[in-house]
């Protein structure tokens, strides 16, 4: 079941991330994009071994389990485990090549502004723009951060992404969300995590598996 009806072309959203842990900001952004853009669905791609940032705090298996809990009840979302099946660093360019071969729809790579500004440091990043469009999602505090180099690729409406297979960019400003996994990890370590930032089932998983605790807190309890 693809959700695509005859004559209504759609994009396939690709939402990569470390998801350490997944938070309500991720889910809310995906929901807002599904409503605003011509997307058939969004595939979340958890990075098994993210190459462009410090090693995650939670292991790949736990991050995947939390993502499954967060997305379980929504059929518009799927999880692709392709990066768990490969050896070595989880390069997005390799993932997009796999998804491009598997799916007919043009790909729309979803990136928060913080991730987007670091794109030129990613492995074979120019090739990424040959495999997918980019949907850039604003984040609080980064509203003015759009780099000049992307401007020639920007389109005014998301429908314009359907006119070609890759290489265009759309800036999505409608859903700036305050959640951040870095802030969550810090709060969880301090024992002050805002549970409202975590999707249903995730707080219980974190508690049951003792994730994100400061070692000294464990020692004290
Ligand atoms: P960290 O703080 O550990 O970097 P994060 O909250 O940015 O984590 P990631 O798993 O790194 O979460 O993010 C995956 C993708 O989701 C990235 O493209 C990121 O920019 C985007 N994203 C995360 N949180 C938000 C948010 N609140 N609003 C918009 N985009 C977001």
Pick the CATH number of 11-209 from 3.20.20.190, 3.40.190.10, 3.40.50.300, 3.40.50.620: 3.40.50.620
Instruction: Confirm or reject: Cβ of 29 under 6 Å from ligand 1.
Output: yes
Q: Check whether 6 has a pLDDT greater than 70.
A: no
Q: How far apart are CA 212 and CA 187, in angstroms?
A: 9
Atom of ligand 1 nearest to the CA of 179: 27
Q: Give the mean pLDDT of 209-218.
A: 75
Q: Give the mean pLDDT of 177-183.
A: 94
How many Cβ atoms sit within 10 Å of the Cβ of residue 8?
10
Q: What angle do CA 195, 173, 120 make, to 5 degrees?
A: 95
Mean pLDDT of the chain: 91
| Residue 1 pLDDT level (bands cut at 50, 70, 90) | very low
Do 49 and 22 touch, CB atoms closer than 8 A? Answer: no
Report, in this order, helix, strand and coil percent for the chain, each rounded to 5. Answer: 45, 15, 40
pLDDT confidence of residue 110:
98
Sheet with strand 77-79: strands edge to edge: 77-79, 39-46, 11-17, 107-112, 132-137, 169-172
Q: Check whether 215 has a pLDDT greater than 80.
A: no
Q: Can you spell out the DSSP letters for 40-94?
A: EEEEEEE-SS-SSSSPPSS-HHHHHHHHHHHHTT-TTEEE--HHHHSSS---HHH
Q: Give the mean pLDDT of 149-177.
A: 95
Instruction: Confirm or reject: Cβ of 63 under 6 Å from ligand 1.
Output: no
The number of angstroms, rounded, from the C-alpha of 159 to the middle of its chain's C-alpha atoms is 21
Q: Is the dihedral of CA 153, 119, 177, 76 positive or negative?
A: positive
Q: Give the mean pLDDT of 123-142.
A: 95
Q: Give the mean pLDDT of 57-68.
A: 97
Q: What angle do CA 138, 206, 23 make, to 5 degrees?
A: 15
The number of angstroms, rounded, from the C-alpha of 9 to the middle of its chain's C-alpha atoms is 22
Most confident of the following: 36-45, 82-91, 172-181, 190-199:
36-45
Share of the chain above pLDDT 70, in %: 93
Q: Which of 77, 110, 112 to mutate to test the pocket of ligand 1 (most atoms within 8 A of CB)?
A: 112
Instruction: Confirm or reject: Cβ of 177 under 6 Å from ligand 1.
Output: yes
| Residue 199 pLDDT level (bands cut at 50, 70, 90) | very high
Which residues on neighbouring strands pair with residue 77, listed in sequence order? 42
Q: Give the mean pLDDT of 127-143.
A: 94
How many Cβ atoms sit within 10 Å of the Cβ of residue 86?
15
Q: How far is the CA of 8 from the centre of ligand 1 (A)?
A: 30
pLDDT in tens, 143-160: 788 999 999 999 999 999
């Amino acid at each position: 079941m693809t959700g695509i009806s005859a004559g209504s072309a759609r994009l396939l959203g690709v939402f990569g991330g470390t998801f350490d842990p997944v938070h309500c900001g991720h889910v809310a952004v995906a929901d807002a994009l599904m409503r605003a853009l011509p997307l058939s669905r969004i595939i979340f791609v958890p990075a098994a071994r993210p190459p462009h940032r410090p090693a995650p705090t939670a292991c790949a298996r736990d991050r995947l389990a939390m993502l499954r809990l967060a997305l379980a009840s929504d059929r518009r979302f799927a999880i692709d485990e392709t990066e768990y099946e490969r050896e070595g660093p989880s390069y997005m360019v390799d993932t997009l090549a796999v998804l491009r071969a598997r799916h007919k729809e043009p790909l729309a790579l979803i990136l928060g502004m913080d991730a987007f500004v670091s794109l030129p440091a990613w492995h074979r990043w120019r090739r990424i723009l040959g495999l997918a469009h980019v949907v850039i999602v604003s984040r609080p505090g980064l509203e003015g951060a759009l780099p000049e180099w992307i401007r020639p690729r920007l389109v005014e409406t998301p429908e314009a992404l359907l006119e070609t297979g890759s290489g265009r960019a759309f800036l999505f400003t409608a859903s700036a969300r305050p959640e951040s996994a870095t802030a969550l990890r810090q709060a969880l370590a301090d024992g002050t995590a805002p549970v409202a930032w975590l999707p249903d089932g995730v707080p219980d998983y974190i508690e049951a598996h003792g994730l994100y605790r400061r070692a000294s807190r464990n020692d004290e309890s």
